[in-house]
């Protein structure tokens, strides 16, 4: 009669695990869950790194593009020239800013040498300015002819506008269109093109 409770107690101890073994299994399950979550996070991070380039690497490229857009020159078409009405892209002679009767008032802000493609001297490039008109333009002095086309560019850096012109013919000089200096300084560039090729670009200071 006393043996039955002992057998029942022994059976209960076999069926129910000890508190220590339950705790160990729980720790193993917790560690396994952490490892799975860590693996998933690593996979997500790898996918993001592959599919999305580093933003820091993109910023310099974007900045270069923005700078290129800001520094892009806008070429103005030749404007109608009316006496007494100087404006961007107009003719300084026809508007009266550089005509013979006022030439004494015209200032040469700068003067630089201009060379042929073979390196020989061609002439001089001048930055001309008319204070009353508040405009500037380029003048090239040299032995022009049909085989020597002179290209002149007048540039205003503050708003990145430029006017261009060229001339090939018998003359002792040629000039370009004018730009207003009311908004900022102006400088001129020029080069000579011959059957031998294009000569070096001469540039004045900005004034």
Residues 20-75: pLDDT tens digits? 544 544 445 454 555 545 555 655 445 544 444 444 444 555 555 445 545 799 99
Whether the CA torsion 58, 60, 66, 68 is positive or negative: it is negative
Confidence category of residue 170, pLDDT binned at 50, 70, 90: very high
80-203: CATH, from 2.60.40, 2.40.10, 3.40.50, 1.10.287: 2.60.40
In this prediction, residue 168 has a pLDDT band, given cuts at 50, 70 and 90, of: very high
Quick one: pLDDT at residue 37? 57
3-class SS of residue 32: helix
Higher confidence at residue 24 or residue 107?
107
Share of the chain above pLDDT 90, in %: 65
pLDDT (tens digit per residue) in 133-159: 999 999 999 999 999 999 999 999 999
Query: Is 189 strand, coil or helix?
Result: strand
47 φ/ψ angles, rounded to the nearest 5 degrees:
-65, -40
């Amino acid at each position: 009669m006393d043996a039955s409770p002992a057998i029942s107690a022994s059976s209960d101890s076999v069926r129910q695990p000890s508190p220590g073994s339950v705790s160990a299994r729980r720790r193993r399950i917790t560690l396994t869950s952490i490892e799975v979550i860590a693996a998933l996070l690593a996979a997500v991070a790898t996918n993001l790194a592959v599919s999305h380039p580093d933003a820091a690497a993109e910023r310099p490229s974007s900045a270069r593009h923005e700078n290129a857009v800001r520094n892009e020159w806008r070429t103005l078409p030749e404007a109608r020239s009316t006496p007494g009405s100087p404006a961007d892209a107009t003719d300084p002679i026809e508007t009266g800013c550089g005509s013979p009767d006022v030439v004494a008032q015209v200032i040469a802000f700068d003067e630089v040498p201009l060379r042929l493609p073979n390196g020989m001297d061609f002439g001089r490039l001048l930055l001309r300015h008319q204070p009353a008109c508040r405009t500037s333009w380029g003048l090239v002095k040299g032995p022009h002819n049909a085989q020597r086309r002179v290209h002149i560019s007048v540039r205003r850096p503050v708003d990145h506008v430029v006017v261009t012109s060229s001339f090939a013919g018998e003359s002792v000089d040629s000039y370009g269109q004018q730009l207003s200096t009311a908004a900022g300084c102006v400088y001129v560039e020029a080069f000579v093109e011959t059957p031998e090729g294009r000569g070096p670009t001469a540039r004045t200071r900005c004034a």
